[in-house]
Structure 1
Amino acid sequence: MPERRFVLSLVLGIGIAGALLLAWPGAFAQMERLSYDVRMRLTALPSRADTRIVVCEIDDRSLRDLSRTDGIDWPWPRELFGEVVRFLREGGAKAVVFDILFDSPSRWSPGDDAAFASALREAGGVVLAATFSRAEVPAFADERIRRTALPWPGMPGSAPGFRSASPPVDPLVSASEGIGNVTPQADEDGVLRRIQPAVRLHGRMYPSLALATAQVVHGRRARTTALWRSLTLGGGTVPLDDDGNMVLRFHGGARAYRRVSILDVILSCRLRLEGKPPLVDPASFRDAVVFIGATAQGLYDFKATPVGGHYPGVEIHATALDNLLAGRAVRDETAGLPWLLTLIVPCAALAVAAGAGARSLALSLGLWVLLVACVLGGSAWAFALGLAIPTVLPLLAATTCYAASSSLHHLGEARQRRQVERAFSHYVHPEVVRELARDPGKLRLGGEEREMTVLFSDIAGFTPIAERLEPQAMVSLLSDYLTEMSEILHAHRGTLDKYIGDGIMAFWGAPLPQAEHAVLACEAALDCQARLRAMGPSLAARGLPPLSARIGINTGWMNVGNMGSRMLFNYTVQG
């Protein structure tokens, strides 16, 4: 492809891609999100989930059986959760995390909250949930949760700011080891792909439930700092996006983490008091981080995620903790690399269109599909390594550039075919013209040395004949002669060079190579002589004399091509 066409295709393709993005920004953003979700599902491996994380689920069975046998309906007495906390901590659980809101007093008894707080204080290592809101609540005061604020002046990027919070009730705040935000922040399509490790409230930064838990796991004094696009926690670093969010790396659909029904834990507590073997061995929770949250359908704590549209909210917080502890969140690359790919991939597409497109449309399309597969495969491979690279924009630019290049190529080919047809339709056999039009590359203009055969002929004694005839009769005779001879030359695949009065010049071996050029010229000469003899009776009937031709043929090396001046040239031979 000429440099001009390459640059024109690149500019045109990227310009069209930019116009499409400006016209439908939401559609392409959603395509990118869907591409992200596909890559997440392809690389989400349950084997990578942290086995120390356990979900103690409040499932439908737990709700049903406690209501049926004990008459306990949801929400349950908080003293019951206190028993669960004691059981888990006595078994060696490193932390117990509640994805349940205790932001209003218990409905069961005045002492229920105090009993729960006593259990939390006694067990230690418990993290509770709070929600944050952008609504101004007149009665809200943040003194209750101020002790849980992070020692940061701010958060990199644009961490969301809130005006109020709903922390646990007073006795529970002081009894807990930490309090974390559980307010979901889904993307525009309603899918939850990221969380805020910290949020801003009245000039202070407060941790998410996962970050508060990670601090408990590492120890409250673990160094936690937030820098540009990264979060350092206990010596490990977790990538953040431009807005200070942590892009979650899921490890499969629901049940990526070990689940234990809270009903079995409650029954195990009771069996131990009776001196009987528990249903669940408390030692199975040694060094575990246990999340207590709802998976029951009736409690409606499900979120849409890249790995499923019905994902328990408690497992989202478990996934976030997993990412924080392992330092394996997704790095959402939006800086220089995507723009570099937006130039490299279209250039590769143009190379495909230029190289393969000139040979075969099928080959070009095949290589184009291979290029797209390489981009998608490379993107999935990078995603498996933890790097999310936008793919829609590079592929969109590559597609428009490929289409622009192919269109310009085919328009150029069509124009070249028309030029070939105009240039040779009067010189050579129509079949030769069609072959040249199908593959103009076979035509090399500008002078080329070849072994060819050239034929010259004229009418013997034409001058005396012309002097005896009226001008109109002479023109008619010459026209009939040249027509008959030219048809024979074309029939033998000769190239008609020029007429010189009654003379004819033709050659073989160009513009298409002909191995049998000498034979074709000789056969054409014999047929011309035979045709002249056959024309004798018809000429005599018109009162015209018979004609005989003198024909000369020579085979040798000669130059062929467009020759002449800049103002006037024709396709001929010399030599």
Structure 2
Amino acid sequence: MRGRKWIVTAAAGVLICLFWSFLSQLGTGGTLNRLESQLQDRVTQQSDAERAPNANIKLIKIDQASLDGLGQFPWDRSLYAQLIGMLADAGAKAIALDVVLAEPGKDPESDAMMAETMKKYKNVLLPVVFNFKAKQDRAGALETESVEYPADTIGAGPNQIGHINVMQDDDSVVRKLTVGLQDGAGAMIPAFSVKLANELLDASHQIAWNAAKNGWYRGDKRLPVDDRNQIATQFYTEPREAMSADTGYDSQSFIDVLTGSVPADYYQGDVVLIGPYAPGLQDEYLTPLSTTLKMYGVEIHANMVQSLVAGKFFTEAGSSVNYGLILLLTVLSLLVFGRVTGFKAFIVFAALAAAYVLTWVELYQLKSFFIMFTYPFLAMTTAFVWSVVQHYVTERQERGRVTNIFGRFVPRTVVDELLASGEEVKVGGQRRDISVVFVDIRGFTPMSEKLEPEQVIQVLNEYLDICTKAVFKYGGTLDKFIGDGVMAIFGAPISQPNHPELAVLAALEMKRQSADLEERCLREIGLPVRFGVGINSGAAVVGNIGSQMLRLDYTAIGDTVNLAARLESNAKPGQILISEETKNRLTGSFATAFVGDIKVKGKEKPVSVTEVLGHEETSSTRRLEDFKGGEGA
């Protein structure tokens, strides 16, 4: 039985592991994957003190005020050339224009002016845009359909470009920076933010693609990018957050800088990002810091620049680690909950869940490392639920098994009461008013001498079967077999107001049913096998008596029991003797005969004894069922 249980548990564990492992690899578009991302978003959020912006990163906004003052988009490129020249001459460290200039402008002179600016100032950065295939050939790939470089008329050099692709997760939230993308010729184009971060990093921490090692490095430390060359970064500002004493990037309006309202030398030594900052320009994305208000692309680039400069990014565990976690938590849960049941199981589950949550958070806080949370946690939860269900089913099966086994010795009512109580079986009892029946075979010893042992057992079993069925028929409790004798109780553990009648009826039933057995024994071995029965009613202590740790018997003790045993020892073959107390309680129509006062062991005075001859069936006699008023059968 135990081996089968472990086989079933092991099979359940395998199915749980396979199920959650399979779901975890179906893709990133499911609800659980989104939940995983949202949980990470909550943990990665920082306080205002932690979100202090890098003072050398500044924004120039193409906002509504600039559009109102300079006209609708797109602008003449001479405006960009003019502003870039002002900033470069004032000592800006790097200037990044987050505006796509992939096609020649309408005014060749404006393009020429822009080209002259690019040639003169090498610290100017223009965007490259990658267009990806609508349907990728393989999952997780970033296969390019086309690449949009700055127009040839502008003349941007290879060191003056960076891609501005902002990649959204399946829930349309931007969480990762694509550090670099390969163009059709195999050249690696760094991100805008990588190029700008290098302007703020010293030589030993420069970020670059190492083709020999096939990886991105920040100095001598490999960046933990995924298969798409993406890395999760921190966000330091809320969407459209104005600069304050604590956070928010310094941002000024394009027109204010162009017209001199904000002097160009204000940007000396800074990295400057120029980009759209108005709703109609369609450069807005959701970020982990807000699920409703979108962040402009130029803000996202600024946050990614700071994250790269600070080295603040986290990594996620690979598939093998996550599979291992699912397996570990499933096995651990099945082992633990296989041994812990009831309310304790819920406490242990809560403790395991809390420990896993704490481990998950601490790994990020200490190591900037995320293990998968949802699928291992759900695997653990599934194992817990499975164990609870298994315990329930096992308990029901055990209940049925105990009921069947115990039901061979006592009526179903006794078993049901013990199981329904929900309490441990303990030593002790209670005072109850009961009737006790003792039955014994007369002539058993001579019969045993004449028969083979197997024949003796067969006769004895038939006799005991008759007694047991008679006791159970009238709702009694079969207390014990005493050699060739039987002790039965009526009135406990289920109260039966008419237990004296039930005890007498059971004795008469034994007498009737034993007629065939008596005749067969007389015919086959020449000796009759007849019953002697003694019945007494009164108070007794009924309960579990014996050793708490080793063996308990449900029985009755007291003078009432002793007198019933003495009456049985004085009964002749086929005789049913009852005490005066039992006789006085009988309300049914029984044929009786007074035997007289007899001296019994343990009693100073003789006791009055009556023999029950039969049950008189009359029109006033209650039906048999009426005698069973207290029985649950």
Q: Taking structure 1 as the reference length, what is the TM-score of the superposition?
A: 0.70
Partner SS state of residue 105, structure 1? coil
Q: CA deviation at 1:100?
A: 1.0
Looking at structure 2, the residues matched to 289 and 423 of structure 1 have their Cα atoms a distance apart, in angstroms, of 85
Q: Which amino acid aligns with 1:392?
A: T
> Which among 302, 326, 336 is matched to residue 320 of structure 2?
336
Matching residue of 1:142: none
Q: What pairs up with 1:3-402 in 2 under 5 angstroms?
A: 5=5, 8-16=8-16, 18-19=18-19, 25=26, 29-45=30-46, 47-48=50-51, 50-51=53-54, 52-64=56-68, 66-67=69-70, 72-107=71-106, 109-134=107-132, 160-174=142-156, 177-200=159-182, 201-218=184-201, 222=206, 224-226=208-210, 231-251=216-236, 253-255=238-240, 258-263=248-253, 266-271=255-260, 278-279=261-262, 282-283=265-266, 285-309=267-291, 310-357=294-341, 360=342, 362-384=343-365, 385-402=367-384
* Contact 1:10–1:346 under 8 Å retained in 2: no
Distance 1:503 1:123, change over 3 A: farther
Q: CA deviation at 1:415?
A: 0.9
Looking at structure 2, the residues matched to 260 and 225 of structure 1 have their Cα atoms a distance apart, in angstroms, of 31
* Contact 1:159–1:196 under 8 Å retained in 2: no
Most deviating of 10-19 and 525-534: 525-534
Looking at structure 2, the residues matched to 328 and 230 of structure 1 have their Cα atoms a distance apart, in angstroms, of 18
Partner SS state of residue 169, structure 1? coil
* Contact 1:489–1:524 under 8 Å retained in 2: no
Looking at structure 1, the residues matched to 111 and 278 of structure 2 have their Cα atoms a distance apart, in angstroms, of 24
Looking at structure 2, the residues matched to 118 and 481 of structure 1 have their Cα atoms a distance apart, in angstroms, of 111
> Which among 522, 530, 533 is matched to residue 580 of structure 2?
533
Q: CA deviation at 1:205?
A: 2.0
Q: CA deviation at 1:88?
A: 3.5
* Contact 2:235–2:289 under 8 Å retained in 1: yes
Residues 60-97 of structure 1: CA deviation (Å, up to 9, x unaligned): 23323x15xxxx22222222223332443455432111
**Number of residue pairs matched by the alignment:** 494
Looking at structure 2, the residues matched to 458 and 435 of structure 1 have their Cα atoms a distance apart, in angstroms, of 24
Looking at structure 2, the residues matched to 460 and 119 of structure 1 have their Cα atoms a distance apart, in angstroms, of 121
Q: Which amino acid aligns with 1:328?
A: K
Matching residue of 2:612: none
Residues 395-442 of structure 1: CA deviation (Å, up to 9, x unaligned): 232222222222111111111111222222454587763464358994
Residues 86-112 of structure 1: CA deviation (Å, up to 9, x unaligned): 4434554321112111112333x3321
Matching residue of 1:145: none
Residues 464-505 of structure 1: CA deviation (Å, up to 9, x unaligned): 9xxxxxxx9xx89x95899697487364559xxxx996579x
* Contact 2:175–2:287 under 8 Å retained in 1: yes
Looking at structure 2, the residues matched to 54 and 2 of structure 1 have their Cα atoms a distance apart, in angstroms, of 70
Looking at structure 2, the residues matched to 314 and 406 of structure 1 have their Cα atoms a distance apart, in angstroms, of 53
Looking at structure 1, the residues matched to 545 and 173 of structure 2 have their Cα atoms a distance apart, in angstroms, of 69
Q: Which amino acid aligns with 1:522?
A: G
Looking at structure 2, the residues matched to 549 and 5 of structure 1 have their Cα atoms a distance apart, in angstroms, of 60
Looking at structure 1, the residues matched to 81 and 551 of structure 2 have their Cα atoms a distance apart, in angstroms, of 99
Looking at structure 1, the residues matched to 214 and 334 of structure 2 have their Cα atoms a distance apart, in angstroms, of 35
CA RMSD of aligned residues (A): 4.8
Q: CA deviation at 1:297?
A: 0.4
Residues 325-350 of structure 1: CA deviation (Å, up to 9, x unaligned): 23332212114321221122223332
Partner SS state of residue 111, structure 1? helix
Distance 1:441 1:267, change over 3 A: same
Distance 1:508 1:333, change over 3 A: closer
* Contact 2:181–2:229 under 8 Å retained in 1: no
Q: CA deviation at 1:392?
A: 2.3
Distance 1:481 1:301, change over 3 A: closer
Looking at structure 1, the residues matched to 86 and 578 of structure 2 have their Cα atoms a distance apart, in angstroms, of 115
Q: Which amino acid aligns with 1:311?
A: M
Looking at structure 1, the residues matched to 472 and 13 of structure 2 have their Cα atoms a distance apart, in angstroms, of 56
Partner SS state of residue 172, structure 1? coil
Aligned residues with identical type, % of pairs? 20
* Contact 1:5–1:405 under 8 Å retained in 2: no
Q: Which amino acid aligns with 1:372?
A: A
* Contact 2:91–2:268 under 8 Å retained in 1: yes
Partner SS state of residue 239, structure 1? coil
Q: Which amino acid aligns with 1:344?
A: L
Distance 1:479 1:54, change over 3 A: same
Residues 182-203 of structure 1: CA deviation (Å, up to 9, x unaligned): 2343334443333432222222
Matching residue of 1:437: 419
Looking at structure 1, the residues matched to 589 and 150 of structure 2 have their Cα atoms a distance apart, in angstroms, of 123
Matching residue of 2:573: none
Matching residue of 1:542: 591
> Which among 397, 403, 406 is matched to residue 385 of structure 2?
403
Looking at structure 1, the residues matched to 372 and 599 of structure 2 have their Cα atoms a distance apart, in angstroms, of 76
Looking at structure 2, the residues matched to 296 and 481 of structure 1 have their Cα atoms a distance apart, in angstroms, of 90
Distance 1:451 1:437, change over 3 A: closer
* Higher RCO (C-alpha 8 Å, min separation 6): 1
Looking at structure 2, the residues matched to 204 and 399 of structure 1 have their Cα atoms a distance apart, in angstroms, of 48
* Contact 1:253–1:308 under 8 Å retained in 2: yes
Partner SS state of residue 167, structure 2? coil
Distance 1:84 1:314, change over 3 A: same
Looking at structure 1, the residues matched to 14 and 214 of structure 2 have their Cα atoms a distance apart, in angstroms, of 29
Matching residue of 1:141: none
When you count helix as a share of all residues, which structure comes out higher?
Answer: 1
Distance 1:431 1:130, change over 3 A: same
Q: Larger C-alpha radius of gyration, 1 or 2?
A: 2
* Contact 2:105–2:111 under 8 Å retained in 1: yes
Q: CA deviation at 1:458?
A: 4.0
Q: Which runs of 5+ in 1 are unaligned?
A: 137-156, 272-277, 445-449, 465-471, 553-575
Looking at structure 2, the residues matched to 230 and 503 of structure 1 have their Cα atoms a distance apart, in angstroms, of 97
* Contact 1:58–1:262 under 8 Å retained in 2: no
Partner SS state of residue 301, structure 2? helix
Distance 1:328 1:534, change over 3 A: same
Q: CA deviation at 1:280?
A: 5.8
Residues 97-146 of structure 1: CA deviation (Å, up to 9, x unaligned): 12111112333x3321222333344444111101123579xxxxxxxxxx
Q: Which amino acid aligns with 2:320?
A: G
Matching residue of 1:413: 395
Looking at structure 2, the residues matched to 484 and 38 of structure 1 have their Cα atoms a distance apart, in angstroms, of 62
Q: CA deviation at 1:7?
A: 6.0
Q: CA deviation at 1:209?
A: 1.7
Distance 1:426 1:102, change over 3 A: same
Q: CA deviation at 1:298?
A: 0.6
Looking at structure 1, the residues matched to 313 and 4 of structure 2 have their Cα atoms a distance apart, in angstroms, of 45
